[in-house]
Amino acid sequence: MKNIYKIHYIIFFLALFFSKAIAEPTFVQSKLIDDKFYLGLNFNNDGTKMYTVNAGAGTSDAVIEYILTTPYDISTAIVNNTFGVSRGGHTQATQVVFNNDGTKMFIVNHAGNKSVDEYLLSTAFDVSTATFDSEISISGQEQRANSIAFNNDGTRMVVAGVGNDSQVRIHEYSLSTGFDLSSTVTHLNTEDLISFQSHIDGVTFNYDGTKMYTITTMNDAQDLMYQFKLTTPYDVSTLSLEGTYTVSSVSVSSREVVFSNDGSKMFIIDDDPDDLINNKVHEFNLSCNWSIIDGACDDPITTSDGGKDILSSIESQTATAKQIAIQASTPVLNRMYWLRRHRNNDQLSNQNIRLNFSNSMVASLSNIIPISNKTNEVLDKLSDDWSFWSEGSVSIGRTGDTSTSSSKKINTKGITLGMDKKISKNRLYGYALRFGNDDVDVGTSGTNLDTESFSLSVYGTFPHDDEKFTEGILGVSTLKTDHVRKGGGSTRTGERDGAQIFGSLNYLTTYKKENFNITPNLRIDLSYTELSKYREKGPAALVYKAQTIETGMISAGFTISDILNFNTFTFKPNGGLELGVDFSPSSDATYRYLSETTEYTKSIDQDSKNLRANIGFDLVTDNGFSIMTIYERNQSDNAHSDTLYLGFGYVPTDNIEYAMTLDNDKASLSYKRDLNGFDIRMSSNYSLMSQIPEYGATLEIVNTF
């Protein structure tokens, strides 16, 4: 029995140990720097530049600027500039910080006049363009200043130092103008940390000042980091200790600690007083943003720009699921709309190329050639034959940056193949298959969502009489999303599957007066999507629970059309107006850090109303060509989109052969016409899904003598 207890205890201890190990920082690498006395460390906003502070003696104090070819990857650091910061009485610089846009640089001096110096940079984050501007003395509060930090708007400055061996102090100052030492600078208070630590070398804060981090080394003793929680941001009088983390395994004499912009990486500069050739910068990955200890993680969505990317990714997955249902239904609705306008004509096949202008971004015309089939029978003769149709689309759009969510660049392409069959006058049913790709670039760090979808739907038109119809669509979709989330020099990847069912029911009636038609309609669109749970791979990885997305919209409106007959062609103008009310419930996304058990939930709301207006025309010539175009404007509560539909049709005559085929992702078009005994042959082929346009064309004129 005792042995069983021992085994249980060992298992519990190992589980606790490894759980804690996962949650703590993970050492990545070290970067050797030259044999100087280094005390300071910092980065620019995107991690493409690193700065160290050489605290030499006399006139040798300098800021060294490095270029990082890979953001926050210290192994790629190359010295770019060196700028001396020694001035009369200003010696032993210990830290460098910048304002938000990199046009100002601040240096704190450990000895001499004990001041904070302000420099102006004519080129952002380029220390070679620095010129001295102003200074303030801190000698009244501090004898040996070691580090400096500002709040986000520069109206509060924090200086850390050691007055003597029994004083470990944080001094707080207010600035009447942010990041301007020439404005009124007022000392607010001094907080002694001697009850927590015996020395202090560096101080920094998280993204919003609710956490403070200090680092210390003293006479080759254990190098420790301290993480404090502040109940009032940047007010150190409200601090409480959350925990400590030792870096003695990699650091000999830790001087400063800084973080990547999203808090997923931590960096420490280390100088070896006994052997300066061993000076290093150390890089760590954090298992959750802005935390060096177990159990002290915050909601990742609240973490500055990195959190904005996370929220935008969740919003994109939710919106993409909704859009896939719309994108699968729209070609079918377009098909039935075409048939209603042309149900007495010979041509039943139509081809659509769609041009989108989404969120004020100009889109590009699709290079996807849709697939068609020769259809030369009238509607009334299709009792035994199928009519084939297709629609291709490419759209480019953008959603702007908000205070909580990053911008999104959206690129969507798809192709729909359909076939339908008449079963009685004005009554038909059909099938449609759509392949789609939705690519969303989130923010500016490289976060991306690439979603592939396959949709299969069945549809039908059910007339109540010659002028009243009910149209129905029922379909299913599969979704697969490859997710890449970047930030702070770290990359996380994940894959997510999904399944969807969608449907649309549209009732309409037509009122005629000669060639003029007006058709009121009432439509309801529904979809239900389940997204699987998934987890990311990489630093500060997240785990997402399964998510359900329910969408529903009821729309009411009307369309109008007219027929104008000319000698060689028929012109059919049309237009419509529709108001939709979205009654979709919010969708809850639940997530957590891989290293933690605390879960967070974010509700994603839908737009409540949508106004859609369109205007267009059909042009049908006597020699068999037809053109269809519709301009459509969609306006919702918080967004809008402009869509242009372009359609092309052709009815071959007896002396013309026309065909188009599909072989996997290759489409080919051929045209042959007999002209006075000569065969004119044209052919072309396109790659439908290639990122780089692939096509070829040939022309032949043949005669037999």
Per-residue pLDDT, 495:
96
Query: Token pair of 336, please?
Result: 């039935």
Highest mean predicted confidence (pLDDT) among 81-90, 144-153, 618-627? 144-153
521, 556 Cβ separation under 8 angstroms: yes
Burial 156-165 (b: 16+ CB within 10 A, else e): bbbbbbbeee
pLDDT tens-digit readout, 292-328? 987 788 899 987 667 899 999 999 999 899 889 988 9
Of residues 599 and 633, more confidence is placed in: 599
127, 105 Cβ separation under 8 angstroms: yes
pLDDT tens-digit readout, 580-615? 888 888 899 999 999 889 999 999 887 678 888 888
Q: What is the DSSP letter of 288?
A: S
Over its C-alpha atoms, the chain yields an Rg (Å, rounded) of: 34
536, 525 Cβ separation under 8 angstroms: no
Where helices occur in 144-199 by DSSP H, the ranges are none
| CA–CA distance, 199 with 148 (Å, rounded to integer) | 15
Residue 464: exposure state from Cβ atoms within 10 A (0-12, 13-18, ≥19): exposed
Per-residue pLDDT, 275:
63
pTM of the model: 0.77
Tell me the percentage of the chain whose pLDDT exceeds 70: 76
| CA–CA distance, 179 with 647 (Å, rounded to integer) | 58
Q: Which range is least confidently modeled, 64-78, 337-351, 371-385, 547-561?
A: 371-385
Q: With H, G, I as helix, E, B as strand and everything else as coil, classify residue 159.
A: strand
Q: Does residue 384 register a pLDDT over 60? A: no
Of 287, 285, 245, 243, which is closest to residue 595 (Cα–Cα)? 287
| CA–CA distance, 441 with 393 (Å, rounded to integer) | 19
Q: Does residue 678 register a pLDDT over 80? A: no
120, 135 Cβ separation under 8 angstroms: no
Q: With H, G, I as helix, E, B as strand and everything else as coil, classify residue 211.
A: strand
415, 688 Cβ separation under 8 angstroms: yes
Residues 6+ apart with CB under 8 A from 576: 557, 558, 559, 560, 612, 613, 614, 615
Average pLDDT of span 573-584: 89
Per-residue pLDDT, 38:
82
